[in-house]
Structure 1
């Protein structure tokens, strides 16, 4: 199993909306590195859900329920989506400040490549964020 982090602005698609809908396809990715990460996602992979711009915190855990396929919002075959479903909310959101301050997370993509919207995480990084959020 692989681990991932996806980012969304709460005003565009919040964790609360995701919870109420129960499933979504992750569209709008127009960065090749993020697209390549979507391509690598497999059914059952776990995903941390991060609120960007406002909140700046990991707020929940999702899972990939359908691997990459053509983004239905565009006819351009270069762009993909995956289907995600929420698993659970974190008891305590883990802020970007907490992540930056944690020596175990100093190399995380969220710190190194802050603008990337879909990124891989090492299992230890994923587990550490969950530990911080419990």
Structure 2
């Protein structure tokens, strides 16, 4: 049975429009640095699961559209890059701490689902 996930992003950093503009509408969902979120992503997300994209830290936070998990979880490469904001000096390729999945754009809602609406 497929699951439905809520993924939060700041639209100034990576919006649903940015996801849609990626090749094949697909991008790695990197930068997760919360252990509980990491555990769910690593242990529970499956290729094909549905995703609701939530824009936060903006004038009107809302669920703005849908995506789909497009890969199995894999180590987030940004954790190994000292020039990345996601760099974690405690992570090694043999013992990664952080994971990501690829997500693929499905649709943008004509009317975002705001917190007030929800």
TM-score of the two chains, using structure 1 as the length reference: 0.71
Equivalent of residue 28 in structure 1, options 26, 31, 35: 31
TM alignment of 1:14-25, pairs within 5 A: 14-21=15-22, 22-25=25-28
Task: Look up the match of 2:102.
Answer: 83
5 Å-filtered alignment, 1:87-98, equals 87-98=106-117
Helix, strand or coil at the partner of 1:98: coil
Unaligned runs of 5+ in 2: 81-90
5+ residue gaps, structure 1: 100-134
| Bigger helix share | 1
Q: Distance in 2 between matches of 1:72 and 1:30?
A: 13
Map of 1:1-134 to 2, 5 A cutoff?
Answer: 1-21=2-22, 22-39=25-42, 40-54=44-58, 55-75=60-80, 76=91, 77-99=96-118
CA RMSD of aligned residues (A): 0.8
Q: Report how many aligned residue pairs link the two structures.
A: 99
Q: Which residue of 2 aligns with 1:116?
A: none
> Residue 86 of structure 2 aligns with which residue?
none
Once residues 98 and 72 of structure 1 are traced to their aligned partners in structure 2, the CA distance between those partners, rounded to angstroms, is 37
**Bigger Rg, which one:** 2
